[in-house]
Amino acid sequence: MMEKVPSLRKWLRLMTACAGIVAGLFLAAHGRAGSLPSSGLVVAVFDGDTVLLADGNKVRYLGIDAPEVAHDKDPADCFGNEARKANADWVLHKKVRLEYDKERVDSYGRLLAYVFTPDGKCVNAEMTRAGYACVLRFSDPFSRFKELLDLQREAIRSHRGMWGGCSPASSPYYIGNRRSFVFHRDACPYGKKVSRRARVQFHTRWRGLEEGFRPARCCKP
């Protein structure tokens, strides 16, 4: 029995340390939530929906998803470079204003915000209007969801940006997921895993997009 005491003490010390770490992270997160910046100078543009501020904060544009630029060995998506350039034209080396919604920080530690130019234009909306980004829908709608979806529908019908410049391979039908609001090609293995309860079928990709679903990154429908 005496040999087990050191192990017990070691276990208690470990648990105490873990509790301290968790408490510290909790306090840090809540402290940061109360002091989010309301503005900042954009010093770098990573792609069509993410920028870096001079204070070191990364900002992810809330409610939109731009095509990817090249990463490592993966080539850029269609209109990925054009979206980054358009975003840079709007905000690079400019002081922008930030507005927040329900979700303020994502799982990567990036600020989630609506970004406004010095003259008051909402960049999230302008990128969607021009066809450089699609709506990134959540189960709990953000305040500008309807506005951005209306702008996306307008851009699709007018064939602006990627909606007129990209020609993905067709599919007999598309499988949407009501929980993630992502849609897949009919042959996509991830699409086939969508449960019957969450599944919705679209006859065209345009129908899925107009309903606020976004293309899956795995099969790029």
Is 110 an active-site residue? yes
Catalytic pick among 110, 153, 199, 207: 110
Is 217 an active-site residue? no
Is 197 an active-site residue? no
DSSP the chain: -TTHHHHHHHHHHHHHHHHHHHHHHHHHHHHHHTT--SEEEEEEE-SSSEEEETTS-EEEETTEEPPP--BTTBPPPTTHHHHHHHHHHHHTTSEEEEE--S--B-TTS-EEEEEE-TTS-BHHHHHHHTTS-EE---SS--TTHHHHHHHHHHHHHTT-THHHH--PPP-S-EEEETTTTEEEETT-HHHHTS-TTTEEEESSHHHHHHTT-EE-TTT--
Give the catalytic positions in this structure: 60, 68, 110
